Amino acid sequence: MVALTRRIEVTLETQLDSVDLGEQIALRVAGAAGFDEEEQHKIGMAVREGIINAYQYGNRQQRGKKIFLNFELAADRLIVEVLDQGTGFDLHQVPDPLAEENLLKTSGRGIFLIRCFMDELDVQRGPQGGARLIMTKRYPPHLRSNLSPGPHRETPRRSD
Amino acid sequence: MSFQATPRLADGVTVVEISGRIILGEGTARLRQLLRDLLADGHRHILLNLAEVSYIDSSGIGELVSGLAAVRSHGGELKLLHLNRRLRDLLQLTRLYTVFDVHTDEEAALHSFR
């Protein structure tokens, strides 16, 4: 049996407006997936922080680079990927913003907030380098059955 | 709604009514400049009324922390008033709720500067 899913791919410019744009798209996708308003807000904010990370630390605000934002509506969860064209980073090396010595730092809370607002976060190396943030949010139980794959509403999963 | 700030004086305290979004870009830049200007003009006791702030991201939180440090370095105090639920939740998540002096009543907030 072929696994079915729905996928949205967006390419963003490395510019400040992309942060708002990416968040707005995330809010629309989360709403369409059936998340309630509070969860939509959390997903939107997590995506916003992911794009800020790509814009500031990944692509270092270099206009020639791109930010790739992908949404995948799987059977039981929403998967969001934010890929930049920087040098990548190790999630385990990100300082803990809750540590006493970091509490008064003016930056470094974005990754922490993504972890708070999503169910899972992983950071991998992108195909051409760069950081690939993969964040997932499981649907509430009553939505998982409604969104189970069906040929009348799904498109085949990409194999690439 | 974009960032807006309106300062007023009350009992020797500079109360700044802030509305809109404190987010990466214009919102954080304007908050930074506002606090710089207030400090340059000699204001040391500053109360930010955040009741009408509709949204804040990690950059906005960072700017509040930066403002707190800047005001303290001038021997002053920066306090917060009327956080909405989401902002309060964010400050609690980031352990900053206890770093800032947060108030829910303006009279009590003004009195706390004395």
Nearest CA in chain B to A112: B94
Q: How far apart are CA B114 and CA A118, in angstroms?
A: 43
- Name the CATH superfamily housing domain B4-107: STAS domain (3.30.750.24)
Nearest-neighbour CA in chain A from B96: distance (Å):
7
Q: How far apart are CA B74 and CA B44, in angstroms?
A: 7
pLDDT at A143 over 80: no
Q: How confident is the model at residue A141 (pLDDT cuts 50, 70, 90)?
A: confident
Percent of chain A with pLDDT over 90: 81
Nearest-neighbour CA in chain A from B66: distance (Å):
6
Nearest-neighbour CA in chain B from A47: distance (Å):
11
What is the per-residue pLDDT for A82? 98
- pLDDT tens per residue, range A42-69: 999 999 999 999 999 999 999 999 999 9
What is the per-residue pLDDT for A146? 58
- pLDDT tens per residue, range A56-113: 999 999 999 999 999 999 999 999 999 999 999 999 999 999 999 999 999 999 999 9
Residues 48-87 of chain B with CB under 8 A from chain A are 57-59, 61-63, 65-66, 68-69, 86
Nearest-neighbour CA in chain A from B94: distance (Å):
6
**CATH topology assigned to domain A4-154:** Heat Shock Protein 90 (3.30.565)
Query: Over chain A, what is the mean pLDDT?
Result: 89
| ipTM score of complex | 0.92
For an interface test with A, which of B30, B57, B58 has the most A Cβ atoms less than 10 Å from its Cβ? B58
Q: Does any CB of chain B come closer than 8 Å to the CB of residue A112?
A: yes
Can you give the residue ranges of every domain in chain A? 4-154
Find where tokens 């990409």 sit. Answer: A158
Contacts 24+ apart (CB under 8 A), A112-117: A112/B93, A112/B94, A113/A45, A113/A46, A113/A49, A113/B58, A113/B90, A113/B93, A113/B94, A114/A46, A114/A49, A114/A50, A116/B93, A117/A42, A117/A43, A117/A45, A117/A46
Show pLDDT as tens, one digit a residue, over chain B (114 residues): 789 999 999 999 999 999 999 999 999 999 999 999 999 999 999 999 999 999 999 999 999 999 999 999 999 999 999 999 999 999 999 999 999 999 999 999 999 998
Q: Does any CB of chain B come closer than 8 Å to the CB of residue A133?
A: no
DSSP letter at A54 equals I
Residues 66-95 of chain A with CB under 8 A from chain B are none
